[in-house]
Structure 1
Amino acid sequence: MSYDLAVWEGMQPAHDGEGGAVYEQLYEEYMEGEEIAPTPGILAYTEALAERWAVLTEGRASGWGSLLDDASGPMIYLTMPYGLAGELSVEAARLAAEHGLVCYDPQSEHLRPVHDD
């Protein structure tokens, strides 16, 4: 069982419903369509995420494998082991915000960090 997050470049959606609609459109275009090289913003995000994970685990390999395997254009889809999801998802969302990216949880259909309506 895994826990998934989607991270993408773009305007921050106004609410969870809008985030879900944008997520579905981007997922269809970039994850189910022809693979496109990740944008510089997504590359910088994955580098920061890999570095942060190494610090948190004192150099152990991440639970993600190769992050760029699930990156296409302005989007990355993170699949993490459910047992590590708490810590990993918090860091993934925090780093996404630091990089000016949108983070969305498709399981709970909420923007991360939680967006106040």
Structure 2
Amino acid sequence: MTFDLYVWHEPAPISADAAEAKVREGRFRAHPAVPAFRDDLLRRFPPQQAPGVWTMTPDTSDSVLALSCVWSRAGEFGDAVRTLAAEHGLVCYEPGTHLLDPNAPAQ
């Protein structure tokens, strides 16, 4: 079992339904905060760290990151991702529970 999150930039607040539609349709715009967030997240959770958190290392992207971690680390990982996303002004969507957190302000 995995814990999955998506992180991207939105210029204005959106709803969880709109976030889900964006994930399904893959409609994301590039923003420099996305690769900066990935770099910071990989410093926090290095791919080669044991015991590992990643089920797969997120691909490099300038528009959206699909993040997947092992279920046993979901709490720690989710808290870190949401905090870091807020620091970078990014939206974080959890499709398993249909939660959009945080709905970051435009930057």
Say if 1:78 and 1:88 are closer, same or farther in 2 by CA, change over 3 A. same
User: Is 1:28 matched with 2:25?
Assistant: yes
User: Contact between 1:7 and 1:101, CA under 8 Å: does it hold in 2?
Assistant: yes
CA RMSD of aligned residues (A): 2.9
Please, which of 36, 43, 47 is the counterpart of residue 35 of structure 2?
43
Paired with 2:9 and 2:17, the residues of 1 have a C-alpha distance of 14
Query: Which string of whole-angstrom CA distances, capped at 9 and with x for unpartnered residues, describes residues 57-97 of structure 1?
Result: xx5474224222xx544111111111110101100110000
Listed as ranges, the matches of 1:1-117 within 5 Å are: 1-11=1-11, 13=13, 18-29=15-26, 39-54=31-46, 60=50, 62-64=52-54, 65-68=56-59, 72-113=61-102
| Matches of 2:23 and 2:103, distance apart in 1 | 20
Following the alignment from structure 1 to structure 2, what is the Cα–Cα distance between the partners of residues 52 and 101?
A: 17
Q: Where does structure 1 differ by over 6 angstroms across 4 or more consecutive aligned residues?
A: none
* Percentage of matched positions with identical amino acids: 31
Distance in 2 (CA, whole Å) between partners of 1:11 and 1:61 is: 36
Identify if the C-alpha distance between structure 1 residues 43 and 73 changes in structure 2 by more than 3 Å, giving closer, same or farther.
closer
TM-score under structure 2 normalisation?
0.74
TM-score in terms of structure 1 length? 0.69
Gaps of 5+ in 2: none
CA distance in 1, matches of 2:2, 2:77: 12
Q: SS at the partner of 2:3?
A: strand
Contact 2:92–2:103 (Cα < 8 Å) also in 1: no
Structure 1 unaligned spans of 5+: 32-37
